[in-house]
């Protein structure tokens, strides 16, 4: 494990990592347990990736915890997921404070149960001045809904003549996103073998490196995380440029 960390620290570490935490249900079925068992064990993997992120110097970690589509799941499972979220916040808040972690959320938080909203509000307030890792939980989140909201806000500005159409650019659009204080995603990880984005940070991952692994989320540990970062470091991020241009810039 130490060798993996040392290998990572020799090269540039991704500043912002986003993870689609997939496979809890299949992990539970594989182990002959109900779905709730998989979700419960998935919390351990959350702790693992948070600690691993801090160990290698990742500044921003965004976790797809609950999508807008997840509201379509059986009511009993949704209630269980809200209960897990509640327990996580209650148990981990002190640790977040001790480790200087800033908690952040994106998504339609108003749709969450009132007790969850209150816990989140309290946790956000208590960690807002922390300067270490920024941990963002995507809750009741939809990238398409986010982009529709941005389009409406910009349209209202234009209609009220407080914004000229010619002044609309990427920087302006980005400022209306829920993730506007955060940098674009450098590395997007999805577990469980699925190779889809699933309506997650569609704008923010435009130039992200995508990493898909067959590992089910409850089995995703620190070593799995380090392996993903090492794979990221092997890739050449050109952003439309040629390899020669990138090499020339790095040598300057």
Q: Out of 24, 31, 44, 70, which one is annotated catalytic? A: 70
CA dist 197 and 205 (Å) reads 9
Collapsing DSSP states into helix, strand and coil, what is residue 100?
coil
* Catalytic-role residue among 22, 24, 186, 219: 22
Residue 70 known to be catalytic: yes
The pairing of beta strand 60-67 with beta strand 102-106: unpaired
**Best CA proximity match to 9, nearest among 229, 211, 186:** 229
How far apart, in Å, are the Cα atoms of 208 and each of 43, 179, 189? Answer: 25, 15, 10
Residue 42 CA to residue 97 CA, distance in Å, equals 22
- Taking phi over 0 as left and psi of -120 to 50 as alpha, with beta for the rest, 32 belongs to left
Give catalytic status of residue 110 as yes or no: no
Catalytic residues: 22, 70
């Amino acid at each position: 494990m130490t060798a993996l960390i040392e290998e990572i620290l020799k090269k540039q570490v991704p500043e912002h990592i986003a993870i689609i935490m997939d496979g809890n249900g299949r992990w539970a079925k594989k182990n002959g347990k109900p779905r709730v068992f998989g979700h419960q064990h998935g919390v351990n993997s959350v702790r693992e990736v948070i600690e691993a992120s801090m160990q290698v110097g990742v500044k921003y970690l965004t976790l797809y915890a609950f999508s807008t589509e997840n509201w379509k799941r059986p009511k009993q499972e949704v209630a269980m997921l809200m209960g897990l979220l509640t327990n996580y916040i209650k148990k981990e808040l002190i640790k977040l404070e001790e480790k200087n972690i800033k908690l952040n959320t994106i998504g339609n938080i108003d749709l969450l149960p009132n007790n969850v909203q209150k816990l989140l509000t309290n946790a956000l307030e208590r960690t807002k001045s922390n300067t270490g890792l920024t941990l963002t939980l995507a809750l009741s989140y939809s990238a398409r809904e986010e982009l529709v909201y941005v389009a409406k806000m910009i349209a209202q500005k234009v209609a009220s003549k407080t914004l000229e159409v010619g002044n609309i650019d990427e920087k302006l659009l980005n400022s209306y996103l829920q993730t506007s204080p955060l940098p674009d995603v450098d590395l997007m990880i999805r577990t469980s073998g699925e190779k889809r984005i699933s309506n997650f940070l569609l704008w923010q991952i435009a130039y992200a490196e995508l990493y898909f692994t067959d590992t089910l989320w409850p089995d995703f540990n620190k070593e799995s995380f380090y392996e993903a970062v090492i794979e990221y470091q092997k890739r050449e991020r050109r952003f439309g440029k040629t390899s020669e241009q990138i090499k020339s810039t790095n040598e300057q």
